[in-house]
Amino acid sequence: MFSAKSSSRRKSLTVKAVAVAAGAASLAVAAPAVADASPAAKVTVFPGGPTLDVPAVPELPNIEIPGVPKPTTPKKSKPKATKEAPAVPAAPNVSTRTGYIGLALDSTHTLYWYKDGQFIKSMPTSMGSNEHPTPNGVFHTMEKYRDMYMDSSTYGVPVDSPEGYRTYVEYATRLTNDGIFIHAAPWSVAQQGVTNVSHGCLNVSTENGKWVYDNIGRGTPVVIRGTVGGHASS
């Protein structure tokens, strides 16, 4: 049961709430109309009291003030241009019974591999130096050795001569009968893809030498181009 004092206070609060709501409504009417203004909000004056509809105040339009620059959206910086990698050359037009074809280019110091006419892999290589150049031509892979000793005496250069050598190598795939192989040469990785330092073989990394050993079958054509070593074939 409410006392007269409580009833009077409640009426006073109701009058104030209605005044506030009416003021908000008058502001909404005075503001510019916006098509996408949100709907009116339902406002309860106090628990148990009346619920009034108070129109939402629409957003004000952007107003340009003379002398004040408009805010601008920062432009996204464009990525810096980078030097494109050299294009992969087309597969040589040679027949293959294994589906694979190799192409060694002196101009890029790279050995490219293709399967069924499609490029699949490239590997840096170091071919023969100017003193011991690798010949150009079409060669075919022969026997393969998991590891072996390469001996200069097999082609007439004594091991103990200034140009002689006897070197242990891994993953060797023969290209010619006179001793040119594709083989792992970890000692020349820094030169592979850069310059020619071998005695005629195609030096590659151990990983790449193993890939050739594991994947390239006997009789696969390997085309060598651009060296100073003249022309030969197998």
List the structure tokens of 107.
């101009």
Q: How far is CA 175 from the centre of its chain?
A: 34
132 noted as active-site residue: no
Q: How far is CA 28 from the centre of its chain?
A: 56
Radius of gyration for the chain, computed over Cα atoms and rounded to the nearest angstrom: 42
Contact 157, 163 (CB under 8 A): yes
199 noted as active-site residue: no
Q: Which amino acid is at 20?
A: V
Q: How far apart (Å, rounded) are the C-alpha atoms in residues 35 and 100?
A: 69
In degrees to the nearest 10, what's the CA dihedral of 41, 44, 45, 50?
110
Contact 141, 173 (CB under 8 A): yes
Contact 200, 128 (CB under 8 A): yes
Active-site residue, selected from the candidate residues 109, 140, 183, 199: 183
Name the percent of the chain in helix, strand, coil, to the closest 5: 20, 30, 55
List the structure tokens of 124.
């840096």
Active-site residue, selected from the candidate residues 109, 140, 199, 201: 201
Q: Which residues are catalytic?
A: 183, 201
